[in-house]
Amino acid sequence: MIRLALPIYVELLTAVVAVGVIDLLWVSGLGEAAIAAVTVGTTAEYLAYGLFLAVPTGVTVLVGRRDGHAPLGPVIRAGWVLWAVFSVAVAVPGVLLREPLAALFTDSPALTADFFLISLGGLPVYFAQTVVDGVLKGLGDTRRPMRHAIICNVLVVALDPLFIYGLGMGVQGAALATVIARALTLAVALASMTRLRDAAGRPVADGPVADESVAGGPVGGGPARGGRGRVAGEVIGTGLPMSGDFLARALVGMALVEIVAGFGTAAVAGYGIGQKIMLAGVMVFYALRQAAMIRTARSEAVRSPLALGLGAGVVVAIVLNVPAAPVAGLFTGDPAVAVEFLRWMTLYLVPFGGLIAVGGVLQASGRGSRLLAATLAGFAVQLPLAYGLSAWLGITGVWLSMAAGAAISLTGALVMPARLSPSGVSERRAGGPGRAPAPAPRSTRTAADPPSGP
């Protein structure tokens, strides 16, 4: 699990954190308006990715289930069809509505709209890379996605100053440099896919069109057309809870910023700095979640994701707290709020680590909706608590509400009423989400057999 998760952690840290930081560093010399434009632009891209997340997640799980048992071509083709649909549905309205969209986030929308023109127009390239990486992860390969992320970041470091300052494009140069870097990385990734083979030795895109009905049989206009629709629906259905979880967290994060803003600009700045520092640690949990999801989909041993997640939460909390003051001091002359935030986050990080790690097993075993329900239940308690406790305890009440929400979500994921898993074995009989089952030998499973529940 750890060997599988380490490359994912590096990938997440570079892909999710570094690109935005690199752009911000290079445009910082252009003034506050440029910094705001890039900040808003990368936030919008983050939310757009949340809408698309269901596709690469579903592709990863279904490729893992089929690997060695059925042609992977139907799942991969369904992923590309969904990529085209989402690219048009998200990128085109984003570009056309870039000016009113920018006006929602900033008082100086011109620069932000310029950034949106290229960044939102380049979303199909970003989405395509996640589909390729989703296929690779489904095959159990997490090193290549890590290399892709590193290549992209190296290119951004080299291209940003050229386009921002050398060609005088300003914030648009930052957006264009990122899109070009992603396009070049995507070309490398697509070239590597032509050489990939599944566990049965077949090229990953091989397989007759009729095999696309394997996920549920022909419907409507015959095996090929009905099978394609069924596989595409299965991809979305499998990944949708993960997308919902992602978007719910983003929206609740925005609500917390509004509550913290009531305590002044210094509080917002401290919260933002603390969140950025904590993000480097939180990526450990998401790397474990992807590792658990990959291994569960492939019917490989996961052992106890709950124990691993809780243990990771303890380690991350300690690592973040030891250097909290000097690290926060790199961002501001008054790190008190950020340091206090990180101290209190110890209560949040431990249950949150357990929740995220367990979520990978739930997602891959067809019960991602249980994770989403638990997440929403935690938020339903967290937000009222944030308002109530902050009126009583000040900003500390907001930090305590986060810890309470994570604990409730974890409890919900573990004790919600058992239902039948896709294989017909109850969750309780299978061992519950905190414990993975002994996997069935891959050679004895049929193409239609879903993996056992955790």
Mean pLDDT of 230-259: 87
Task: Kindly tell me if the per-residue pLDDT of 195 is higher than 50.
Answer: yes
440-453: pLDDT as tens digits: 444 333 333 333 33
Task: Kindly tell me if the per-residue pLDDT of 209 is higher than 50.
Answer: no
67-125: pLDDT as tens digits: 877 778 889 999 999 999 999 999 999 899 888 888 877 666 888 888 889 989 999 99
pLDDT for the residue 19: 66
Mean pLDDT of 27-36: 74
Considering only CA atoms, which of 71, 215, 75, 69 is closest in space to residue 135?
Answer: 75
* CA pair distance 369, 418, nearest whole angstrom: 12
Mean pLDDT of 171-195: 89
pLDDT for the residue 211: 42
Task: Kindly tell me if the per-residue pLDDT of 2 is higher than 50.
Answer: yes
pLDDT band (50, 70, 90) for residue 228: low
pLDDT for the residue 398: 92
Question: pLDDT averaged over the chain?
Answer: 80
Task: Kindly tell me if the per-residue pLDDT of 242 is higher than 90.
Answer: no
Q: Which residue has the higher pLDDT, 221 or 9?
A: 9
299-339: pLDDT as tens digits: 887 878 899 999 999 999 999 988 888 888 877 777 888 88
Tokens representing 356? 């995220």
Task: Kindly tell me if the per-residue pLDDT of 431 is higher than 80.
Answer: no
Query: Which residues 6+ apart lie within 8 Å of 298 measured at CB?
Result: 64, 65, 67, 138, 140, 442, 451
371-398: pLDDT as tens digits: 899 999 999 999 999 999 988 899 899 9
Mean pLDDT of 283-312: 89
Mean pLDDT of 347-352: 95
Task: Kindly tell me if the per-residue pLDDT of 16 is higher than 80.
Answer: no
Mean pLDDT of 402-409: 95
Mean pLDDT of 132-150: 91
pLDDT band (50, 70, 90) for residue 179: very high
Considering only CA atoms, which of 289, 346, 275 is closest in space to residue 313?
Answer: 346
User: Residue ranges per domain, the chain?
Assistant: 1-238, 262-454
